[in-house]
Chains A and B, each alone.
Chain A
Amino acid sequence: MNRTIILWRLASFAVAAGFIALWQLIANLKLVSPVFLPGPDRAWAALVHGFSSGDLCSKLIGTLEHMAYGWLAASIAGVAIGAMIGSSRLMRTYVAPSLEFLRPLPVSAIIPVAIAMLGLTQGMALFVIAFGAIWPIMLATIHGFAAVEPRLYEITRSLQMSRLAVIFKIALPSASPDIIAGMRLSLTVALILSVVCEILAGLDGLGHWVLLSARSFRSADLFAGVILLGVMGYATSLAMAVAENRLLKWQRVGH
């Protein structure tokens, strides 16, 4: 890779390390009470301890599972429903506007309704996460399907391709940049809703962990959990970016 890029990266890491040192200084000088702000040393110790005792590991997996199941369900349903609506002009006129109207609605407001229907259970969490994560994907799919180059549809008529072939060979690939962008957004939503549901329903996961740590004023454990959540957010985002790179290779090539 480019030498300048590597140098800048290192400098950037150095700056970040500097901030951590500043954090440590503030903690050492007790400028903020250690009850609220543990130093990075204590947070790291709590992280290590949490993993070696297996606690944090199981909590991490708990949140990951909530995220993953909800997001997967949302992806499949979102693409399927979005494809159906996006490829039919009738549906686009009558259905799509209502969906656009619902877009700015805070999805967390569905949580009490879900609790009323399903109680404080895993099922409720899965429903909420899937419901929240479906919107970016579905709306992106509708947009992607509606924006397919009409010339391509004429070619499919000339080739007399079946409806299924048109969807899988033309519409889906054409819409894939939009769909993947939607899936990235959904991943963020899924993480947030997982944490909220864990806090509310006491389900096993990092959200629950940080809440318990807060209640018992174990600030080091609390920070360890928060850091881990940040790492989760970063790692899943990175994974999506890599996948996007490979799937959408064709967008980047050429002049």
Chain B
Amino acid sequence: MTIDRAKPLLLPLTVLAAFEAWARAAHLQSDSLAPPSAIMAALIGALADYSIPIATRDTLFSAFAGLAVGSLIGLALGIAFGISDVLNRLMEVTVEAIRPIPSIALLPIALIALGFGYRMEIVIVAFACIWPMLILSGAAVRGIEPRLMEVSRALRLPPAQRVLKIIIPAALPRIFVAFRLSAGIALIVAVTVEIAINPIGLGAGIMLAQQALRPDLMLAYLVWIGLIGYGLNVLLILAQRRLFGRAALG
């Protein structure tokens, strides 16, 4: 079975090794490419002098803060729309009108309103995270076994208790999947805002490296961003498995 596990690694390792060999043989001098060994060295250096850890802290702070705000708003609205069909239908046009606006288009508005820094990034991330949470948790609530809803009505639970004790627990697995999706979006939007304009975080770091004509550092940031994205995803999948079991959902 270990051979099966190793197979997926074969291609990337071969590519990296080949690239390394070619870069050395050709004495690569380029603004955009660097041999894997140089990338590794730059990565270790940037970790050691705390530039990458600080940038990671900044990016993750903005991403998580935005995720928290956005997903809470999205969740609240989603549950409300899921419970009340009337509300859902009335709000349809408004939601469908605002949702397609690319979060990045709000960047200039946030910029003039809040200036550079954490706040504008958090606002944009929050905006981006509202929609997937809203739509998917709405669907999750609507997908709750009707029998459970009848039980809650028969027990004559007050609305707040109905939401807390029956609706949220029943819809929780799918809500968590929506949260996982939003978390990925939060990271992507945060990095994108930083690359576009915000002078903090990993996005700014990679842009600075490119402008300083240091391809090794630039690619080191790229690798690190990829690792963070992958790590975040894995962590959330593990959390999902712990909380809801393997068979729960995709």
Contact A113 B32 (CB under 8 A): yes
Contact A192 B108 (CB under 8 A): no
Residue A199 contacts which of B197, B221, B230 (CB distance < 8 angstroms)?
A: B197
15 extra A-B contacts, CB within 8 A, seeds A8-B92, A214-B108: A9-B93, A12-B94, A94-B10, A104-B184, A105-B225, A109-B203, A113-B210, A113-B218, A116-B218, A207-B104, A211-B107, A219-B112, A226-B101, A232-B100, A233-B101
Contact A234 B96 (CB under 8 A): yes
Contact A226 B105 (CB under 8 A): yes
Contact B232 A104 (CB under 8 A): yes
Question: Is B90 among interface residues, defined by CB-CB distance under 8 A?
Answer: yes
Which A-chain residue is minimally distant from B222 (CB atoms)?
A109
Contact A98 B11 (CB under 8 A): yes
Chain B residues with Cβ below 8 Å from A123 are: none
The answer to whether residues A196 and B192 also contact, given A12-B92, A19-B94, A226-B109 and a CB cut-off of 8 A, is yes
Question: Is A191 among interface residues, defined by CB-CB distance under 8 A?
Answer: yes
Residue B100 contacts which of A93, A206, A234 (CB distance < 8 angstroms)?
A: A234
Contact B222 A113 (CB under 8 A): yes
Residue B215 contacts which of A9, A19, A116, A219 (CB distance < 8 angstroms)?
A: A116
CA distance A192 to B103 in the complex (A): 8
Give A191-205 as 1s and 0s: 1 = Cβ < 8 Å from B's Cβ atoms. Answer: 110011001100000
CA distance A11 to B230 in the complex (A): 44
CA distance A112 to B217 in the complex (A): 11
Q: Which residues 112-129 in B have Cβ within 8 Å of A in the complex? A: 112-113
Q: Which residues 105-120 in A have Cβ within 8 Å of B in the complex? A: 105-113, 115-117
CA distance A109 to B190 in the complex (A): 11
Chain B residues with Cβ below 8 Å from A229 are: 101-102, 105
Q: Which residues 155-189 in B have Cβ within 8 Å of A in the complex? A: 184, 187-188
The answer to whether residues A222 and B109 also contact, given A116-B218, A117-B32 and a CB cut-off of 8 A, is yes
Chain B residues with Cβ below 8 Å from A105 are: 225-226, 229-230
- Interface size class on chain B is 35 or more
Residue B105 contacts which of A106, A107, A111, A225 (CB distance < 8 angstroms)?
A: A225
CA distance A237 to B207 in the complex (A): 32
Q: Which residues 178-224 in A have Cβ within 8 Å of B in the complex? A: 188, 191-192, 195-196, 199-200, 206-207, 210-211, 213-214, 217, 219, 222-223
Contact B93 A200 (CB under 8 A): no
Give B203-230 as 1s and 0s: 1 = Cβ < 8 Å from A's Cβ atoms. Answer: 1001101100101001101100110011
Residues of B within 8 A of A (CB): 7-8, 10-12, 31-32, 89-94, 96-98, 100-109, 111-113, 184, 187-188, 191-192, 195-197, 203, 206-207, 209-210, 213, 215, 218-219, 221-222, 225-226, 229-230, 232-233
Decide if the interface of chain B is mainly helix, strand, loop or mixed. helix
Which A-chain residue is minimally distant from B128 (CB atoms)?
A192
The answer to whether residues A199 and B196 also contact, given A113-B32, A192-B104 and a CB cut-off of 8 A, is yes
The answer to whether residues A94 and B206 also contact, given A11-B89, A15-B91 and a CB cut-off of 8 A, is no
Question: Is A95 among interface residues, defined by CB-CB distance under 8 A?
Answer: yes
Chain B residues with Cβ below 8 Å from A54 are: none
CA distance A42 to B191 in the complex (A): 33
Q: How many residues of A contact B (CB 8 A)?
A: 58
The answer to whether residues A108 and B203 also contact, given A16-B93, A214-B112 and a CB cut-off of 8 A, is yes
Chain A residues with Cβ below 8 Å from B10 are: 94
Chain A residues with Cβ below 8 Å from B213 are: 116
Interface centre among A15, A109, A188, A225 (most CB of B within 10 A): A109
* The 10 A-B residue pairs with the shortest CB-CB distance in the complex, in nearest-first order: A233-B100, A97-B8, A214-B108, A116-B32, A230-B101, A112-B210, A108-B192, A12-B93, A106-B188, A234-B100
Can you list 26 A-B contacts (CB < 8 A)? A11-B90, A15-B90, A36-B112, A93-B7, A97-B7, A98-B8, A101-B230, A104-B232, A105-B225, A108-B196, A109-B203, A191-B102, A195-B104, A200-B195, A200-B196, A210-B107, A210-B108, A214-B108, A214-B112, A217-B112, A226-B108, A230-B97, A230-B98, A230-B101, A234-B96, A234-B100
The answer to whether residues A116 and B210 also contact, given A109-B203, A214-B108, A222-B108 and a CB cut-off of 8 A, is yes
CA distance A213 to B106 in the complex (A): 12
Chain B residues with Cβ below 8 Å from A8 are: 89-90, 92
Q: How far is the CB of A26 from chain B (nearest CB, A)?
A: 14
Question: Is A51 among interface residues, defined by CB-CB distance under 8 A?
Answer: no
Chain B residues with Cβ below 8 Å from A217 are: 112
Contact A112 B184 (CB under 8 A): no
Q: How far is the CB of B72 from chain A (nearest CB, A)?
A: 21
